[in-house]
Amino acid sequence: MNKKNIILFADPDSIHTKKWVEGWSIVKYDTLVSGLSLNQYDDITIFKASIDKEGGNGKVFFKNIFKFRNILNNYNPSIINAHYLTSYGLIAALIKRKDDVLIISLHGTDVMQTMDKNFIYLLMARYILNKCDILVSVSQTMTRKLLQYFPYLEEKIITQQYGFNIEQLDKFYTKHKSIDVITNRGWVQNSNYEILLAALEDLNISKVIIGYDDSGYAKKLKDCFSSLEQFILPQIPYEQNLFLVAKSKIFVSFTTSDGTSLSILEAMYLGAIPIVTNLETNREFIINGINGFLVSIDQKDLMEKIRYVLSLSEKRLNIMREYNKNLIKERFDMKKNFLRLEKKLQNIKKV
């Protein structure tokens, strides 16, 4: 196949999807995004559907499977890039044609939690993984988990996060840090907002909490922590998000499980010191006390770390910031990483 066009089966509202489109454009691929959304789009390639952020959307996806198959046949791409294992990944595996190259982009909970749910999920994962040609794993931790269950997949896997447009991030960087703490992780149970908000409520500091939505979980939390309402922002445009992160001294991520979080990495590049949960995935790029801090899912531990970072000298903070900026440039440059992915694509005989 000589065509350089690709269809992304992915969440059309996600910043990750937009970044993958940007990455594919760097290596000169034309892209079409198709997926399900809570919002109204054209209903030609993107379809309105009731999607639960906490999962359990199997029936919703299967209901639209013939729409996805028709789009695949009409667009006739050389490559399918499906995001998340048991949602778009399953749909792509089911409708994949004989000569299609299938890339599955894994993100975190779809591997770190889903495959341990029960035997049925494990069988589903095996079917999808056997159908794909390339697996993009975002961390060494995730890769080890995959190989623990399916050691024969090693040749299919490329381990890397998609990375950043470094030049774009540079436009937002500032030395002026007027916000003490910021967080922008999704308002889902995996983010442990009930503990995080309790900690922030007890700290007399400047804070910004981004990403509030209209889910039942978020509404309940906002009611419980009404004193924080002035610091809570809804989901905001990506550029505005970066602007606020760049002005922050500390970035907090308090998730129970994670892949290689782009939110954390962006914050590190922009000069916010990361305080994150002590997960194996986070330990791949954060050395406790050197370029960030690892905490348990405990309110007291989080509060102590925030106070400690705010007490550090500017000289010490700048050393940590420089370390992080160099690390991101080395490992998470979007152009370098998509060139690596394209090289792996070229080694597949079907391309």
pLDDT tens digits, 200-209: 999 999 999 9
Instruction: Please say whether the beta carbons of 107 and 160 come within 8 A.
Output: no
- Separation between Cα atoms, residue 2 and residue 66, nearest integer Å: 27
- Separation between Cα atoms, residue 133 and residue 255, nearest integer Å: 30
Closest CA to 285 of 301, 262, 303, 305: 262
Reduced 3-state DSSP string for 202-255:
CCCCCEEEEEECCCHHHHHHHHHCHHHHHHEEECCCHHHHHHHHHCEEEEEECC
Phi, psi at 134, each rounded to 5°: -135, 140
5-163+333-346 folds as Rossmann fold (3.40.50)
The pLDDT tens digits of the residues spanning 179-232 come to 999 999 999 999 999 999 999 999 999 999 999 988 899 999 999 999 999 999
Question: Does CATH number 3.40.50.700 belong to domain 166-331?
Answer: no
| Number of DSSP helices (H) and strands (E) in the chain, helices first | 16, 13
Q: Specify the DSSP class assigned to residue 2.
A: -
pLDDT at res. 56? 55
Global confidence as pTM: 0.79
- Separation between Cα atoms, residue 186 and residue 53, nearest integer Å: 9
Domain ranges of the chain: 5-163+333-346, 166-331
Q: Quick check: do 5-163+333-346 and 166-331 share a fold?
A: yes
42-46, 55-59, 210-214 — which is least confidently predicted? 55-59
Average pLDDT score over the chain: 91
